[in-house]
Amino acid sequence: MATEKITMPQLGESVTEGTISKWLVEPGNEIKKYDPIAEVTTDKVNAEVPSSFTGVIKEIVASEGETLAVGDLMCYIETEGSGDDTAADTSGAGKAENENKQEAPAEKDTSMKKRYSPAVLRLAQENDIDLEQVEGTGKGGRITRKDILKLIESGNVPKPDDKPKEEAVKPQKQPQASDKKETAQPASVPVAPGDVEIPVNGVRRAIANNMVRSKHEAPHAWTMVEVDVTNLVNYRNRVKNDFKNKEGYSLTFLPFFIKAVVEGLKEFPRLNSMWAGDKIIEKKEINISIAVATDDALYVPVIKGADEKSIKGLAKSVNELAGKVRSNRLTGDDMQGGTFTVNNTGSFGSVLSQPIINYPQAAILSVESIVKRPVVMENGMIAVRDMVNLCLSLDHRVLDGLVAGRFLARVKEILENISEDNTSIY
């Protein structure tokens, strides 16, 4: 018999750690290669981790709720022999640990050193740790939660006062201090009789972490336009029954809005960008993230190649992804690669909102409720029209008001000119 390690895999691009939300096995369980052993949550995806080996679970090292860096040990598994099969398996997640150890001393990459996770920021603030003096062991020199805990346990905690004098006088602001109000947690919350305590599960924790990171790193700006979608509403209402009978799923308003957004992104590609520290990356692909809510969480699956799809194709993608979320069949691939987010807050009756950017994207658009309102027309007459507000939050590092305003104006123009004569669903 041979004992093999199963380590935390990298579950997405730029993902450096994951939280074990639930173990699916126990010590003594027999499992086959590729069988799921645990549910893991990151700031991008909730996914099952498969076993790299066939054998018996020997020991579970990490506990539920624990956050591990990529390559950290999750559990041990006993296999029959240690031949070529098991050696080949370590080329995946298990190999990440060795690669990290080999690469770190060779390159001393520090590109991720100041990319602090909410957990690292909180621990640093609670223990008065100067993060600039901490050596990170994560990818790109990133400081992990494990690094901070190890420092605390050793008692050798670098304080802000420990800095050399020439550095102390520099007018630099500590990265964690700027977000102290947002990330700091109250020491205790009084619980009165009748109060309900709800444990924070892995999905909710990942949502919270990503929202805090977005607000901490991206300077948000916000703008809105009002759009007359009377022609769109009439067109969709005329064709929705035939569409449902022909295609087998409903034609909602959302695909029309996504189509207009995609056309706008083609003309203003800076909205389809991401901040990368010393540069801005305009993404070639247009992959639209859409928000799908369940009773206790919000998922953001991605419509890949949205610029190549018709309104019918977009409607099909929306229907399939929403179905996957509600039947718990969403995969890691379904959640990756988004370049711009469209949030359908109007489905809940909202008429005005200020969405938080889906980090690391540069912007997010909320489509509010379509409501009938009296509107003064160009001829001075008052008419009842179908109106909708489009709310755009943007990363001001990447985008300025001018380009964002022009983008919204173009999306408004496209939507107001949708009709049966000039808009094909297919």
| Short-list 285, 270, 287, 288, CA closest to 367 | 288
The DSSP bridge partners found for residue 293 are 298
* Contact yes or no for 426/297 (Cβ under 8 A): no
Cβ atoms within 10 Å of 234's Cβ, excluding its own: 14
What amino acid occupies position 189? Answer: V
Name the residues annotated as catalytic: 396, 400
The DSSP bridge partners found for residue 292 are 299
Residue 259: which residues within 8 A CB-CB, separation 6 or more? Answer: 310, 311, 314, 414
- The CA-to-CA distance between both ends of the chain, in Å, stands at 59
* Contact yes or no for 98/7 (Cβ under 8 A): no
* Contact yes or no for 215/404 (Cβ under 8 A): no
Residue 207: which residues within 8 A CB-CB, separation 6 or more? Answer: 297, 298
The DSSP bridge partners found for residue 20 are 40
